[in-house]
A = this chain, B = another copy of it.
Amino acid sequence: MSDSNRSLASDENQSFMKNQRLRAEDIIETISIDCLVFGLNKGQLEILLVQHGEGIREGYWGLPGGWIRNNEDLDAAAYRLLHDLTGLENVYLEQLKAFGRADRYPGKRVVTVAYYALIRPEHYHLVAGFTASDVRWEILSDCKGLIYDHDEILASGLEHLKNQVCREPVGFNLLPKKFTLLQLQEVYEVILGVKLDKPNFRRKMKKTGLLRPCHEKQENVPHRAAALYSFNKEVVYKQLVL
């Protein structure tokens, strides 16, 4: 972005780019990634936030994100950054969308590509690293005043999540390997923000074939123990009308 004949795309520029490209660690600082990671804790949706340890937003909280590398696929950059900033590994990330208001980043033009994931917080150990000085889970309703346009990314991701939960079995990511039908129902309720009828929910879920009975029951609960199920990935998901 720095030489003045940029828009000419001259031959020298072209060949310069090619050489530049060989340096794997090079960074463009024009395209960034931000990761919106949803977790479920005590029946509430939470978002994974990091505190910036350097740069123009030092000390402020926002979504984990950073610059893509020159020779790195967009998806790969998302995985790398999420891991380096928060310690999270083996998380399934999906692209949400690109955010590119001209004034979204102060002082220069940056387009960010947002990714999102649903995970179970207790399965992961958070480790702040790279440019992040701290990491924490924040209850969704308290996630306000994030840096840049991260509030907007969050709103967009939540919208997307609500749409997706009825079309793909993403809710299962927020649950333990073995779960009860009520736990599953609560996931749907908290994402969609509605109350569902228990008998009917159970019946619909069973029909999808997504549930594989564990032939086990809850233990140490002060009431009748519920049957445990696990998620059957094999089945093709049919649209779910709740």
Contacts and interface: CB of A to CB of B under 8 A. Distances in A.
Contact of A9 (B20, B55, B68, B95): B55
Contacts of A95: 97-98
Interface string A56-90: 00000000000110111111110000000000000
A31 interface: yes
Oligomer copy total: 2
25 contacts: A1-B2, A1-B30, A1-B70, A9-B29, A9-B55, A14-B108, A17-B107, A17-B108, A18-B108, A21-B108, A28-B30, A28-B109, A30-B30, A68-B111, A70-B109, A73-B102, A74-B99, A74-B111, A75-B100, A76-B102, A97-B98, A100-B113, A111-B111, A111-B113, A241-B241
A7 B31 contact: no
A152 interface: no
A101 interface: yes
Q: Is the interface of A mostly helix, strand, loop or mixed?
A: mixed
B73 A101 contact: yes
A25 interface: yes
A55 B14 CA distance: 11
Interface residues of A, number: 47
A145 B28 CA distance: 29
Interface string A88-127: 0000000101111110000111010100000000000000
Which 8 interchain pairs have the tightest Cβ spacing? A74-B100, A17-B108, A98-B98, A7-B27, A30-B30, A98-B113, A70-B109, A71-B102
